[in-house]
Each structure stands twice: as C-alpha cells, then as structure tokens.
C-alpha cells in the first residue's frame, strides 16, 4: 500500500482573508513522505505539477487535521478530486476515540517524547520574510512526527497524551487500527488528459 503522509503550510492566516474556510488561504509549501520511496520532499506552489502524479499514485493519505484543512486546501489547486483517495486523518481518529480534539504536539510529546519544531503562525511570518528554508524544515518535521505517530498507533493500537488535570498523568487513547490500511478502490480524476 502506497501511503503519502503530508502537511501544508500557508502564506496567510484566516484573519488575513476574513474567513474560516481553509480554501480561502494560499499554500506556501506541501511536504510529504512517500512510503514507496521512504523519502521526504517539499513542493512550493510552482512545483505542484511534480506533486500531482505522486498523490495520484497513493492508496492512502495520512494527515493530522487533513480532512478538514489540508485536503480541501490542496484540492483547490488540483484539477481532479483528491477526496476520492482514502484519507486517514489522525485527528479524526483521536476525536472519535476520546470525544475531543488534541494537538499533534501534545500527542507527539507523550507518545514519542518529541515536540514540534515550531507552529503555523511562525511559518506565515517566515513566508513574509522570504525564509522558505525555515518553512520547509518545519513542515518536514511535522510530516515526520505525523508519520511516527501513525506508525506508533499501527504497532500499538494506542496513542498517548498528557492529561492537564491534577497530576498531569500520561493517558492512552485507544484506537482501532484494524481497517486503517485496508485498500479502497478509489476513483480519481487525473490531471493528465486521456
């Protein structure tokens, strides 16, 4: 199964576009991990023609908040429909199990012992300052964390988070990963004419 783990950084914020719709934003970079090559790569908006064939070969996307944010935003630039490819949104899985949303950073710290290297607000500032290398590094770091969180969940059937109540215990999030890698027959509109 070819899995593409990805994350997106934007050039602007919701307040800049007076909207809460992710498709109102503009992408600065998309970073991916491709399970077929075990490589990480990055794509600026002008590089998307190189990204589409990779995404079209995917059996599954792995994201954190991708169903709500990343996929609709990326789909704005794509001539087909990326929602036709199976998506495993770790945030959705966590919310379904726990009944609430938890930040990737909170899960990564308790599960993997690592923290994110920055946050999206910094990435927008870096874009405005022309610091593209910083955005790419941060975005690839997020993809690595997302992939490692996914791999941990597949291996152990749980993720962990630190409870903010008294004592701050590390608690488990039980996940049913049984069908996560079950292959879907996807129908996609490709970018190339036939």
8 A C-beta contact, residue 133 and residue 183 = no
- What is the model's pLDDT at position 190? 55
Domain that residue 21 falls in: 3-174
Q: Is 85 left (phi over 0), alpha (psi -120 to 50) or beta?
A: beta
Task: Assess if residue 180 is contained within a domain.
Answer: no
**Residue 29 near residue 132 (C-beta atoms within 8 A):** yes
pLDDT tens figures, 125-171: 999 999 999 999 999 999 999 999 999 999 999 999 988 777 789 99
**Predicted local distance difference test score (pLDDT) of residue 9:** 95
pLDDT of residue 78: 96
Backbone φ and ψ of 39, nearest 5°: -120, 150
Question: 188 in a domain, yes or no?
Answer: no
Q: What is the structure's pLDDT at 97?
A: 95
What is the predicted pLDDT for the residue at 194?
39
Residue 164 lies in a domain: yes
C-alpha–C-alpha distance, residues 94 and 64, integer Å: 10
Residues of the chain short of pLDDT 50, as ranges, are 192-194
Q: Is residue 142 part of a domain?
A: yes
Q: 166 in a domain, yes or no?
A: yes
Residue 27 located in a structural domain: yes
Q: Which residues contact 133 (CB under 8 A, 6 or more apart)?
A: none
Query: Is 179 within a domain?
Result: no
Residue 82: which CATH number?
3.30.420.10
In a domain, 189, yes or no: no
The number of domains in the chain is 1
Q: What is the pLDDT of residue 11?
A: 94
Predicted TM-score (pTM) of this structure:
0.91
């Amino acid at each position: 199964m070819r899995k593409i783990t990805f994350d997106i950084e934007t050039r602007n914020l919701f307040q800049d576009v007076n909207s809460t719709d992710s498709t109102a934003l503009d992408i600065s970079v998309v970073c991916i991990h491709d399970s077929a090559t075990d490589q990480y790569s990055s794509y600026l908006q002008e590089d998307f023609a190189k990204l589409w064939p990779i995404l079209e070969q995917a059996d599954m996307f792995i994201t954190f908040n991708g169903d709500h944010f990343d996929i609709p935003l990326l789909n704005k630039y794509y001539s087909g429909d990326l929602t036709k490819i199976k998506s495993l949104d770790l945030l959705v899985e966590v919310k379904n199990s726990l009944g609430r949303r938890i930040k990737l950073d909170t899960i990564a710290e308790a599960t993997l012992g690592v923290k994110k290297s920055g946050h999206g607000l910094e990435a927008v500032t870096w874009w405005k300052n022309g610091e593209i290398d910083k955005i790419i590094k941060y975005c690839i770091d997020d993809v690595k964390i997302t992939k490692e969180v996914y791999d941990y969940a597949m291996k152990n059937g749980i993720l962990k988070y630190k409870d903010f109540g008294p004592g701050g215990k590390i608690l488990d999030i039980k996940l049913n990963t049984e069908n996560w890698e079950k292959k879907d027959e996807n129908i996609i509109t490709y970018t190339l004419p036939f």
